Structure 1
Amino acid sequence: MNNRFPQLAWLLLIVLGAFAAAVSADELILADEGKTAFRIVVSDSASPSTKYAAEELQKFLGEISGVELPIVSDRTPMGEHEIVLGRSTRLRQLGVQIDFDKLGPEDYVLRVHGGHLIIAGGSRRGNLYGVYGLLDEHFGCRWFTTEVSRIPKRARLAVGPLDETMIPVFEDRDIFIYDCLDGDWRARNRVTGHRNRLEAKHGGRTDWHHYDYYVHTFAKFLPYEKYYDEHPEYFMEIDGIRPKKLKQEGQPCFTHPDVIRLVTEEVLRIMREKPNGTVISVSQNDNPLYCRCDRCDALARQEGAQMAPLLKLVNHVAEAVEKDFPGRSVETLAYMWSVKPPKTIRPRDNVIIRLCSYGASS
């Protein structure tokens, strides 16, 4: 027994050593004590967002490690150690298969392949998001505000083994803070949304919304100045009167048949004129007022929620949109008096409810 122990011990060391070697073989040392063997490879025909991604990668890897990785064309001879960014001839030279046709515009792949790190993404922002995903999730970079960030310092910068595909769960990602007015901050935090702050280098402005009709849209669909004088009945009733002059824009009468028809017609007209959008908002004006006419009040009481008259109108619009524009959606707000859902009225499949919390502690 004693004579066999040294043999078993040596065998165990050999197995563990082989395992460690296999793991380390898939780990890439991007920088070590101020030195690097790596460079960033980008196609000459890369999109503005991919070229900007290379610049961002170079910038932040430099801040982390103190080493600046050169950016080179994929026409240069292949090196032993490279970060290959986006679709290029280098992927073909390496024999790396990336199914770009199956990648959405913001999807990306991170993969270690021999001595190469592959960052390959969708056509619009995939490569840029791949860079930020690497910096954020693997190297610990954070951009809390436009002025406050955390970029770790590492003398030795390693990555791998790595083979992951990232697909955003939500198409629209937005928060309502002043930092969102900065395009670089939005891109680094992978925020999209409706604000026109994303330049070509960020992948461009999103087409998710019909942008002039984002929220609080009834004032545009049914303006007081156009309809009130001849049709005051189109607008909210409070204590038996339908006021015209208010400090704030009021609300329509959501259950009036002509209001439902006019709003539906206006939405369809806008969607015909703005073919790139996929969602349009049909949502209450930005105030705590709502119609208290007998018809609106009866429906709200029946459903136990002031949302009921609004959602019934929105569903009618959405039905028309589905018929004329399959695949597109209508959004409305759950905001102030419309937060509580009705008992039985449910949004159609092509209706999106945007919960808009508004209290300081909400």
Structure 2
Amino acid sequence: MSRTTRGIALALVGLGLLIVGGCAKTAPVQSRAPSRAAGVVLTGEGAPSRVQIVVASDGMATPKQAALELQRLVEKATGVRWAVVNTPSDDAFQVVVGPHPLAEEAGIRTEELPPEGFRMRVQGRRLFLIGQDTAGDPWDLHWMRACRTGTLSAVVEFARQFLDARWVMPGVDGEVVPRLGKLMIPTELDFQGAPFFRSRRITLGATPAEARWMRFNRLGWSQVTCFWHNWYQTISPEVYGKEHPEWFAMVNGARRLHLREEGMGGQLCVSNPEVVRKMAEIAVENFRKYPGWTMFSLSENDGGGHCECSSCRALDVEEWHPGKPSLSDRFARFANRVREAVGDRAPGMKLGYMGYHQGELPPVKTRLLPGIAVEDIHNGYDKRFHQPAARARHMQVLKGWRAQCPEVVLTTYFHGMAAWSLPMFSPEALADLIQTAAEFPSSLGVYVGMGGAQAAFGTQGNEFFLAAELMWNPKQKVAAILRDYNRAAFGPAAEAVGAYFDLIRRAHDRAAGEMKVMHDETVDEGWIFSTYDPIRLQADAFLQKAQALVASTDAATRRRVRMATDGWEWTKIQVDTLTGLRRYKADPSAENARVMLDLVKRREAFCAAHAGPGDYTVSVPEIRMADRQRALSVGPGEYEARISGKRKSARVPLFSGRLGGDDLWEGVPWGKAAIAGPMVRTDDGQPYAVATTVRLLADDERLYLRFDIREPRMDRLVSAIAQRDGPVWNDDAVEIFLDPANHRKTCYHLLVNPTGAVADLRHLGDRAEISWDAGATVATRRGKEGWEVVATISYAALDVKATPLPGDVWSANFARAHRAATPSANLAWSPTFGLFYKPERFGELIFEAVEKPSP
């Protein structure tokens, strides 16, 4: 933004000229600027002796709630309580809220308003606050039940313009209503407003406080939208796979008939006409069962793995990224075919699907039929905005969908993958997305995700406010919105806190322009250090100044400034933790473990202090999610174990000669084996309810292993991979890690699933060689309450030149991916407190000589 534009925007805020959103199809009647010099006085000197709020007794819930909110807000601002009545007194100044015969007499008709629209009008001794509402609870924001709340928006606009009210975060501390000596409105006030986008959503929780914040910031929708991942809930391979394997994706020559956790995988063969027929039947049945469900999702499952059969491949036209086809035309054709099959059996129902991942690009040859809406996904745009090539691609996608599809919803998980609730302030990027979408009449709505169900207003509150404002009226100036937010939220400290966030913005923008963002949305965490480390002293100084400036102001303002300060304290703790982890990974010494133990305890204490209901400093659920996604060791167990120097160990019997024959189940003396286990949860080292143990033996030529894997839900066992060296790790599987040299430089890795599919690889430091062949003998078998694996691996395959001697020590670990569990779990003999492959956390195999058992 230029200096001139910024100056104009700030000047407008100073004059109180708050322009309210219009509608893409209905131009609003703009009000004159509120005059403080002349007008109708409603409280204070010169006010009427009586002011009444009039609401129809037989009206909907929204006008009744809006009337109560108006009563409360006026009393909070002025100390004067207006009565709420159904039948007004002739001598009272009447504030008519919601549809009412008095409004009809004045020529104000709700049917003339756009969806969710409202009108504020003074006529004689009456003020009308009338909106377009529908039946329902105005505080219920369930995606299917939420009602239209135009009258509540009229009250909100009145409070914003004439009470200077703002809602900067959920809860009591988030409502800012200054005290007024006199409340006055223009004599000729006539103002009409409506949302620009028909659907306006932000990720928040479902508490009453969060619902109120959303409504007071005019979030909602007049059209139901539904785009979630839905194939696994409609045509699941777990339900239809045995009878109709041809309905599901063919990958590497085999049909994928299993889902991974959380509904991932299990994609459909969308070129199959029977899949089209079945999906249409389910959509029609769903509509008849839930008539209010006016959009049915056709979106793919998450996790990739789409069909490679010749019929599906024939529908793909271009590349998505080098070596990967765009699937947009096959998805568009599938949506069209389902639309045709539904026909007129579900009048009023639309179909929706995501333009996502390999379906990200607009289709080339297929034009979508009427009655189909698309959700285009723009994740991590806060970083891509600062990279010219990445931004150009996003704009190509955004504009391309809107040029050819009649209804499109812009969705952005704006900061991409969960990033520990850190402040990543990028207002220009957020405005670029929303304001560009607003250029197209086909833009149905905007959905903004900011990191999780618990909102982090201490680090991202300004972006929540900005998103809500731009969704209502995208023509507003970014600087004006932010200045307004800072003024309301931080009072005397507005300039200091604003300077702190601007410092964050400039640091983030610099780092974003340099970081590499992959098409799977992952980024290297190095940007965190280059963003926050250089600005520590300046950020500390701004926030210390802010604390001093609000020392004598009201408690709510002090708490909001404290929340921003605590958000910065959290940022420093997290950056220090990541720095410590880098050092520990490079040198897992006891000294570095002590540093990490102190850091993770500080980190956990902060999260515990801010995890309670109503605390919006940071999003603790997002922090936990980011830890899981990056498999970070942020519990004390690993560092306590390193400080103690203790390692798991098993003493492996070493027999002379050769054990057993061809029968590895009965021909091997498993009763004399060492036992490693039971396995524990790999993330925290805690016991796990379902046991997994490993028995170990050795002879002159090879190592013998037998896994006993308990499984209470054998019907849920995941074993989709059949080919060698396939992604066995996506199935229920056991894993073997062997480092015979015990120097953490070379590790041999073997994976086995319940059907006996094997993947083997050799780790050379951070590099993995999938071409390595263990030459292992492997067998599996299943029982009623579990499954078993036996395996033998020769020393020669492990580059061990001679039989181990008694007393030799190998580094090793054994693991289990428990996919049949909900949620899935990762287990290990020696907990790694993160990913399975962490050689520094392996246990020890100690060989000891024994006599060969008698035949």
Q: TM-score, normalised by structure 1?
A: 0.77
State whether structure 2 residue 74 is matched by structure 1 residue 64. no
Equivalence for 1:31: 43
Equivalence for 2:205: 178
Equivalence for 1:98: 108
Q: Which consecutive unaligned segments of at least 5 residues does structure 1 have?
A: 1-22, 194-205
In 2: Cα distance, 1:245 partner to 1:274 partner: 29
Of 294, 307, 330, the match for 1:291:
307
Of 172, 186, 189, the match for 1:162:
189
Q: 1:180 to 1:191 in 2, by over 3 A?
A: farther
In 1: Cα distance, 2:328 partner to 2:311 partner: 14
CA deviation vs aligned residue, 1:258-298 (integer Å, no higher than 9, x gap): 21121122112222332233222111123233222222223
Letter in 2 for 1:72: V
CA deviation vs aligned residue, 1:7-47 (integer Å, no higher than 9, x gap): xxxxxxxxxxxxxxxx8998222223797643312233333
Q: 1:36 to 1:44 in 2, by over 3 A?
A: same
Q: 1:241 to 1:272 in 2, by over 3 A?
A: same
CA deviation vs aligned residue, 1:75-102 (integer Å, no higher than 9, x gap): x42235221112335447xx41222343
Larger CA deviation: 34-43 vs 57-66: 34-43
- For 2:370, what is the secondary structure of its paired residue? coil
Equivalence for 2:179: 153
Larger relative contact order (Cα-Cα within 8 Å, sequence gap ≥ 6): 1
Equivalence for 2:215: 187
State whether structure 2 residue 265 is matched by structure 1 residue 239. no
State whether structure 2 residue 274 is matched by structure 1 residue 258. yes
In 1: Cα distance, 2:37 partner to 2:345 partner: 56
CA deviation vs aligned residue, 1:118-148 (integer Å, no higher than 9, x gap): 1122342332222123223554433232132
Count of aligned positions = 322
In 1: Cα distance, 2:380 partner to 2:246 partner: 32
Measured after TM superposition, the shift of residue 321 of structure 1 is: 3.7
In 2: Cα distance, 1:239 partner to 1:34 partner: 82
Greater strand proportion: 2
State whether structure 2 residue 294 is matched by structure 1 residue 278. yes
Equivalence for 1:114: 124
Matches within 5 A, 1:346-357: 346-357=367-378
Whether contact under 8 Å (1:119, 1:127) holds in the other structure is yes
In 2: Cα distance, 1:228 partner to 1:180 partner: 39
Measured after TM superposition, the shift of residue 62 of structure 1 is: 2.1
CA deviation vs aligned residue, 1:281-328 (integer Å, no higher than 9, x gap): 111123233222222223224586222211111111223345334443
Equivalence for 1:328: 349
Q: Which consecutive unaligned segments of at least 5 residues does structure 2 have?
A: 1-34, 135-148, 321-325, 383-413, 415-855
Whether contact under 8 Å (1:321, 1:329) holds in the other structure is no
Equivalence for 2:652: none
Letter in 2 for 1:163: D
Q: TM-score, normalised by structure 2?
A: 0.35
Whether contact under 8 Å (1:303, 1:343) holds in the other structure is no
CA deviation vs aligned residue, 1:184-203 (integer Å, no higher than 9, x gap): 2332223235xxxxxxxxxx
In 1: Cα distance, 2:94 partner to 2:38 partner: 14
Q: 1:32 to 1:275 in 2, by over 3 A?
A: same
- For 2:65, what is the secondary structure of its paired residue? helix
In 2: Cα distance, 1:319 partner to 1:166 partner: 38
Q: 1:144 to 1:319 in 2, by over 3 A?
A: farther
Q: 1:178 to 1:273 in 2, by over 3 A?
A: closer
Letter in 2 for 1:56: E
Larger CA deviation: 217-226 vs 100-109: 100-109
Q: 1:313 to 1:29 in 2, by over 3 A?
A: same
In 2: Cα distance, 1:115 partner to 1:25 partner: 19
Of 51, 60, 73, the match for 1:47:
60
Whether contact under 8 Å (1:179, 1:185) holds in the other structure is no
Whether contact under 8 Å (1:335, 1:355) holds in the other structure is yes
Equivalence for 1:142: 166
Structure with higher Rg: it is: 2
Percent identity for Structure 1 against Structure 2: 27
In 1: Cα distance, 2:57 partner to 2:43 partner: 25
Whether contact under 8 Å (1:214, 1:281) holds in the other structure is yes
Whether contact under 8 Å (1:27, 1:159) holds in the other structure is yes
